[in-house]
Structures are given as C-alpha cells and as structure tokens.
C-alpha cells in the first residue's frame, strides 16, 4: 500500500510540472517578471555540470529572441529559489539580462528536490552518472520499483536498471565517463569488475580507441585467463584403512569415502553392543 501511495505522489508531481507550463500558455497573469539578482539556484539541483559552450549559445538565443519558456521558482524569505530551469537562468545571467519570466509555485524542500530531479530527467539534461543518482533518489523517495519508475517517466525498465548500475563503477571510471573518455556503452560492460581491472581497461580504451565489442572480448579473455591461472584446490582424502580394520575386527560393517567413514548397523542389538563398547 505504501508503494502505491507514494507512486501516485510521483504521478501528481509530474502532473504539477506539466500543469504549470500549460497554465502559462493560457493564463498570462500566472507568469511574472523577477529580477535575476533576487533568484538563487536550487540547492537540490541534481545537475552538477553545465556545458559552457551550450550556455553561451542559449544566452545568445535568449538575447536575440527572448526566453520562450519561463523558469519555475518558489518564493523564499530572501527572494526566490529555482525549481526548474537553472540552465535558462544561467544563460540569462550570461546575456546580462536583468529580469526573467517565471512561474511561481508553492513548494517545500521535498518538492523542490523532486521537481529538480523530474525536470532534468524529462529534459534529458543530466549526464549518465547524474541521471543514475536522480533515478536512485526518486526510487528511494517514492519507495517504488524500477518497473514503476520506468512506467512513470516513460523509459524502459532495462534503461533504468542499466543506468543505476553505473553507480557501482569506481570513482576513476565514473570520472572517465563524465569526461567522455569512455562511452556509456563502455561503462556498462565494466560493471562488476574490480577497480584494478576497470582502470586497466579504461586506459586501454583511451589509448587504443577500443570499441565496446572489443572491450567485451578483452573482458572475456581476462576472465578465461583468470580461470586457467587459478590454482586448483588439492583434493582432500583421509586414510581410514587402519581404522576400518580395527572396526571390522570388532564385528562392525563400515564404508569409507574420500573424507568420511560410515558405520552400518543391521539391528538395534548391534547399536546397543557398540554403545556398550565405547563406554568401556
């Protein structure tokens, strides 16, 4: 029951974002002009990196054509905090425009965090690692499964799961992915390797320009080599010969294998005789 309730909460959140932008096109009085200096970034923004060249291009576009879609903010004691649209806000500042069009929504910290996650996911503005962290946070906040999240944000369950697996990579491998030295395809086949082997293969990808298929072959060869080189455990075998002889002289039937000796009794009397024997 809890999962369904929180799942509906995510549906409502997605609806509110869409409704805010829909209202903007039909009720112009819902959009206000806010001084850029009165707005600060969302502290829960999942996006950590912003492409400077892309921001400059957007700034030039806003300067020439204006801001087509307003940002979304919530009112704060010191002014306003961005809920959605930080990239547009940054570009507006670069363009040295003093005010920006904004939709004002009532929001608490929980909603601010979720709005930022959802908006960036829907606009596909996060890199692979940020996206994985965003998926993980939404799953945790709403207590939903990979399948449920996939359905709500219109992505495949395989995409959600594979993206989340990137968080299992070492920090160095994640950095190589963020710096575009390796692709997401490369990264996915590295999941499950220890840090040392990850770094070895990442260096090979960079130095030799390996394709994903070549990396898969390299990993397969490494695993095969490890299997061949792994020393086999010595087979343990105990010597029960003398013990078997002694027990046979006492009239006991025995069976032996590599590591065990089994006593066999054909009647309750034999068991009682044996118990009496070991008590002596």
Query: Domains of the chain, with CATH numbers?
Result: 2-126 (3.90.1530.30), 169-227 (no CATH), 241-279 (no CATH)
**CA angle 140–146–147, rounded 5-degree value:** 135
Whether pTM > 0.85 for this model: the answer is no
Alpha-carbon distance of 106 to 81, in angstroms, equals: 11
Alpha-carbon distance of 252 to 9, in angstroms, equals: 73
| pLDDT confidence of residue 6 | 38
Q: Which residue has better confidence, 21 or 248? A: 248
Banded model confidence at residue 24, pLDDT cuts 50, 70, 90: very low
pLDDT per residue as tens digits for the range 84-126: 788 888 889 898 999 998 888 776 666 666 666 666 676 656 7
How many other β-carbons are positioned within 10 Å of the β-carbon of residue 10?
Answer: 21
Residues 255-277 as b/e (b if ≥16 CB within 10 A, e otherwise) read eeeeeeeeeeeeeeeeeeebeee
Q: Which H/E stretch holds residue 112? A: helix 109-122
| pLDDT confidence of residue 179 | 84
């Amino acid at each position: 029951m809890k999962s369904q309730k929180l799942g509906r909460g995510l549906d409502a959140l997605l609806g509110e974002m869409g409704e805010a932008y829909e209202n903007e096109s039909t009720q112009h009085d819902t959009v206000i002009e806010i001084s850029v200096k009165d707005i600060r970034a969302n502290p829960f923004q999942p996006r950590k990196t912003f492409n400077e060249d892309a921001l400059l291009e957007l700034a030039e576009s806003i300067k020439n054509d204006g801001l087509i879609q307003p940002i979304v903010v919530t009112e704060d004691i010191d002014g306003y905090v961005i809920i959605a649209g930080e990239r547009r806000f940054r570009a507006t500042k670069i363009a040295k425009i003093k005010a920006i069009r904004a939709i004002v929504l009532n929001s608490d910290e929980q909603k601010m965090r979720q709005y930022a996650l959802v908006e960036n996911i829907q606009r596909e503005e996060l890199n692979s690692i940020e996206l994985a962290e965003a998926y993980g946070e939404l799953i945790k906040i709403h207590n939903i499964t990979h399948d449920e999240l996939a359905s709500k944000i219109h992505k495949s369950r395989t995409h959600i799961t594979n993206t989340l697996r990137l968080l299992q990579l070492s920090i160095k491998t994640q950095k190589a992915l963020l710096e575009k030295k390796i692709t997401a395809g490369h990264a996915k086949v590295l999941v499950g390797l220890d840090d040392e082997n990850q770094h070895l293969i990442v260096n090979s990808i960079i130095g030799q320009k390996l394709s994903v298929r070549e990396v898969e072959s390299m990993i397969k060869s490494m695993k095969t080599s490890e299997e061949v080189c792994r020393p086999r455990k010595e087979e343990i075998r105990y010597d029960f010969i003398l013990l078997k002889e002694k027990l046979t002289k006492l009239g006991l039937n025995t069976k032996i294998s590599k590591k065990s000796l089994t006593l066999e009794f054909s009647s309750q009397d034999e068991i009682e005789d044996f118990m009496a024997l070991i008590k002596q």
